[in-house]
């Protein structure tokens, strides 16, 4: 069974049997300047037999030739694929959990993929096609990104600088805002689902990948299927009786930002049972970034995102982005005043236990006090300058 989407620039959702092809190297949408979008580096085509001209050990799904396995999770596997007519390389996600092969579930997954294909955000991976294998498993075809996900970055290089972590979290907020406006909740945001790519000016930015499939709400809680990740899922996601809304992604932004800055998870649970207990009963330890100088204002944003009662979180992802932008602006002011306060030799800058930074709340006009905890002003400046 085949069903196609036209997520390519200028495309739209189309009915079965009409199959517009993705561009040879899909890199941009129909809105925004080309410099705002990633340059996707095509991978080499599969090796061909010199005598017969056929691809060795190739599997074909519809018009796609299956290449290397990129990643495998509990419910899906992602492969690099080539397209018979369009050329270039794409990513094909096969949902391997047989419970997703149900006809009603597939209809939900296909409608979900069609909505994502219509998003026009540089911070969301482009979706081009959706269908089913002969064995029933749903698949979705997306752009293949040339970049590193933030979970890999954390493993290889440790915590990000505060400035960098905030910048990528803002990018995620923008992508999520586009998805939420279209009625889509990611439900599985985490560092491994944020990929850092580069635009045509070689400036790095974050793209969201791997939206969790939307499943029909079961009549019987025993038929509930969890589609997120323990340790990043909001409390309501771990309750089969709860309805999920966009505030689940607000929680996930908080959990992700906490990890990007500290290098450790806010909640270390790896099983559903542990996660349900942890998010209900535990409070993440205070944030430190290796220097012990995490701004109180940033920690306040993260902790509001991680409020166990979703009514106490930010009302929407735009509010999170606005709070991060206000924090970033104050951080920029500290950078600008930094050179005259730098510690040199044995001469130390004046000690300052608490620095009050005042910013006007962008969304509601409320003046917000932003407090930054640092041992002294010298360590504040050196930390911020390092973050640049």
Report, as residue numbers or ranges, the catalytic residues. 188
Residue whose C-alpha is closest to residue 172's, from 122, 137, 245: 122
Tell me the C-alpha distance between 143 and 171, whole Å. 18
Q: Within 10 Å of residue 118's Cβ, how many Cβ atoms?
A: 18
57: exposed, middle or buried (Cβ count in 10 Å: 0-12, 13-18, 19+): exposed
Q: Which residues make Cβ contacts (< 8 Å) with residue 210, sequence separation at least 6?
A: 93, 125, 188, 193
Tell me the C-alpha distance between 126 and 121, whole Å. 9
Two tokens at 262? 């500290």
Q: Which residues make Cβ contacts (< 8 Å) with residue 89, sequence separation at least 6?
A: 42, 43, 45, 67, 80, 81, 82, 144
What b/e string do you get for 304-341 counting C-beta neighbours within 10 Å, with b at 16 or more? bbbbeebeebbebbbbbbbbbebbbebbeebbeebeeb
Tell me the C-alpha distance between 142 and 93, whole Å. 8
Two tokens at 65? 């030739």
Collapsed DSSP state (helix, strand, coil) of residue 95? strand
Residues in the chain: 388
Residue whose C-alpha is closest to residue 143's, from 158, 154, 129: 129
Q: Are 319 and 305 in contact (CB under 8 A)?
A: no
Two tokens at 318? 């735009």
355: exposed, middle or buried (Cβ count in 10 Å: 0-12, 13-18, 19+): middle
Two tokens at 292? 């012990």
């Amino acid at each position: 069974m085949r069903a196609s989407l036209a997520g390519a620039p200028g495309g739209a959702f189309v009915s079965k049997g009409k199959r517009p092809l993705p561009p040879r190297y899909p890199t941009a949408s129909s809105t925004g300047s080309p410099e705002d979008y990633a340059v996707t580096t095509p991978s080499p085509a599969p090796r061909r037999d010199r005598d017969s001209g056929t691809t060795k050990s190739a599997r074909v799904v519809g018009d796609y030739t299956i290449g290397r396995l990129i990643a495998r999770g509990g419910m899906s596997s992602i492969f690099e694929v080539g397209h018979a007519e369009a050329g270039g390389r794409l990513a094909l996600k096969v949902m391997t959990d047989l419970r997703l092969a149900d006809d009603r579930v597939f209809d939900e997954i296909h409608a979900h993929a069609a909505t994502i294909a219509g998003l026009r955000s540089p911070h969301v991976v482009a979706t081009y096609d959706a269908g089913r294998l002969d064995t029933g498993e749903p698949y979705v075809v997306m752009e293949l990104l040339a970049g590193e996900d933030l979970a890999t970055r954390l493993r290889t290089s440790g915590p990000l600088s505060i400035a960098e972590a905030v910048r990528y979290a803002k990018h995620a907020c923008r992508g999520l805002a586009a998805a939420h406006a279209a009625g889509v909740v990611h439900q599985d945001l985490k560092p491994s689902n944020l990929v850092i790519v580069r635009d045509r000016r070689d400036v790095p930015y974050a793209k969201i990948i791997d939206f969790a499939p939307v499943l029909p709400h079961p009549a019987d809680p025993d038929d509930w299927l969890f589609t997120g990740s323990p340790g990043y899922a909001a409390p309501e996601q771990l309750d089969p009786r709860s309805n999920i809304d966009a505030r689940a992604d607000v929680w996930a932004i908080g959990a992700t930002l906490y990890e990007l800055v500290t290098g450790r998870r806010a909640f270390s649970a790896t099983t559903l049972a542990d996660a349900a207990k942890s998010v209900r009963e535990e409070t993440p330890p205070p944030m430190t970034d290796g220097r012990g100088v995490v701004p109180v204002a940033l920690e306040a944003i993260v902790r509001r995102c991680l409020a166990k009662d979703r009514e106490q979180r930010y009302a929407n992802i735009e509010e999170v982005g606005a709070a991060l932008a206000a924090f970033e602006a104050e951080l920029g002011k500290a950078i600008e005043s930094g050179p005259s306060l730098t510690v040199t030799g044995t001469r130390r800058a004046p000690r300052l236990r608490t620095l009050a930074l005042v910013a006007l709340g962008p969304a509601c006009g409320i003046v917000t006090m932003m407090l930054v905890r640092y041992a002294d002003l010298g360590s504040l400046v050196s930390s911020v300058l390092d973050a640049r």
